[in-house]
């Protein structure tokens, strides 16, 4: 089966899915994106992802490329045409195509819309969660608007490569004060010795992850103590558990930070329980 992508109004074979060289996403990273989990062919937390997409776009003064309901139809169609059971759907909106000039185009251009989807093995992800993953820490050298989900991801790309070079799966950014902000493409969490779940507040320095929001709700229902506050690398290393959240990872236990084992060096019960219960709390589409 050949993959299909949606590009500016057309469903095209993946190999022929092209955007113009003067697309502002290509030249300036002037655009935003969303990644939504697909489970059993259904979109997970689509409403929240659409709301965040709308927010990211409005922060950059880019119009929604089409009505949300129409976009939902396109997402479903791309998932369907690619025969995605478990996997992800990717949506990218850029300001559009215009002669290269840093300021916004003076004559209105249509925002450019790309949607792709692909399968991701649930068994592989579950096996990884059972084993746990390693993370490394890197200085957070990103701009201050990381609350906007822009395609300007170069620091994240370099951080993830550093993780790979050091044999780890993810990199956790550390701010100037020594507090962990978030991962290259995930939110960071710990469970303290007292059993309190800690994750940085979404008010500064991080993207408000959808998986983070749903995990906070699940933790509340499970009557777990939760604190939304920054935590240092030292606190994370001394924690009972650590884990990360992202739409493509769900809740992923972290067993090692910069080579230091967390807790007993195995995935923790809180992380595994939150992972197991996640889809009871998430909104599963039709
Ligand atoms: N932070 C960053 C920097 C990310 O790229 C992501 C993944 N898109 C997240 C956090 C997690 O967000 P979500 O749970 O919505 O996937």
117-152 pLDDT, tens digit per residue, is 999 999 999 999 999 999 999 999 999 999 999 999
pLDDT, mean of residues 265-271: 98
CATH number where 63 lies = 3.30.470.10
Residues 143 and 111 in one domain: no
Question: Alpha helix locations (H) across 94-187?
Answer: 122-131, 154-165
Question: Distance from the CA of 56 to the center of ligand 1, in angstroms?
Answer: 13
Mean pLDDT for the chain?
97
At residue 1 the predicted structure's pLDDT band, cuts being 50, 70 and 90, is: low
Domain boundary among 87, 102, 120: 120
For the chain, percent of residues with pLDDT exceeding 70: 100
Q: Which of 120, 136, 160 is the last residue of a domain?
A: 120
Q: Is 233 contained in some domain?
A: yes
Instruction: Indicate whether 4 pLDDT > 70.
Output: yes
Ligand 1 centre distance from Cα of residue 53 (Å)? 12
**Residue 98 neighbours by CB under 8 Å, 6+ apart:** 22, 24, 105, 109
Confidence tier at 2 by pLDDT (50, 70, 90): confident
Please state, for a pLDDT cut of 90, what percent of the chain lies above it. 98
Cβ of 211 less than 6 Å from ligand 1? yes
Q: For ligand 1, atom 4, which residue shows the shortest CA distance?
A: 185
Residues spanned by the domain of 98: 4-120
Which are the catalytic amino acids? 149
* CATH at residue 175: 3.20.10.10
What is the whole-number distance in angstroms between the Cα of residue 119 and the centre of ligand 1? Answer: 19
Say whether both 183 and 208 belong to one domain.
yes
> Is residue 132 lining ligand 1, measured as CB closer than 6 Å?
no
Same-domain pairing of 178 and 196 = yes
Q: Which of 120, 140, 168 is the last residue of a domain?
A: 120
Q: Rounded distance, CA 89 to CA 254, Å?
A: 25
Q: Do 113 and 149 sit in the same domain of this protein?
A: no
In whole angstroms, give the CA distance from residue 181 to residue 231.
8
214 CB within 6 A, ligand 1: no
Total number of domains in the chain? 2
What distance in Å separates the CA atoms of residue 211 and residue 245, rounded to the nearest whole number? 6
């Amino acid at each position: 089966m050949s993959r299909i992508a949606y590009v500016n109004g057309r469903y095209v074979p993946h190999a022929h899915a092209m955007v113009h060289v003067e697309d502002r996403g290509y030249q300036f990273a002037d655009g935003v994106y969303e990644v939504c989990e697909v489970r059993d062919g259904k979109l997970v937390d689509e409403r929240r992802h659409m709301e965040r997409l709308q927010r990211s776009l409005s922060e950059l003064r880019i119009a929604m490329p089409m009505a949300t309901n129409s976009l939902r139809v396109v997402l479903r169609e791309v998932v369907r045409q690619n025969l995605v059971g478990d996997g992800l759907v990717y949506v990218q909106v850029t300001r559009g195509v215009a002669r290269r000039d840093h300021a916004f185009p003076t004559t209105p251009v249509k925002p450019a819309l790309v949607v792709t989807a692909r399968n991701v093995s649930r068994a592989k992800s579950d096996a990884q969660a059972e084993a746990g993953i390693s993370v490394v820490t890197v200085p957070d050298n990103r701009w201050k608007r990381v609350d906007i989900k822009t395609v300007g991801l170069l620091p994240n790309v370099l951080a993830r490569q550093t993780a790979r070079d050091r044999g780890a799966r993810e990199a956790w950014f550390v701010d100037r004060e020594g507090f962990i902000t978030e991962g290259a493409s995930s939110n960071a969490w710990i469970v303290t010795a007292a059993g309190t779940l800690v994750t940085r507040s979404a008010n500064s320095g991080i993207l408000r992850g959808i998986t983070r929001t749903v995990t906070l709700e699940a933790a509340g229902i499970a009557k777990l103590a939760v604190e939304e506050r920054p935590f240092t690398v030292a606190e994370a290393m001394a924690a009972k558990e650590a884990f990360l959240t992202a739409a493509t990872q769900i809740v992923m236990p972290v067993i090692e930070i910069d080579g230091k084992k967390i807790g007993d060096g195995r995935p923790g019960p809180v992380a595994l329980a939150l992972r197991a219960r996640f889809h009871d709390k998430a909104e599963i589409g039709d």
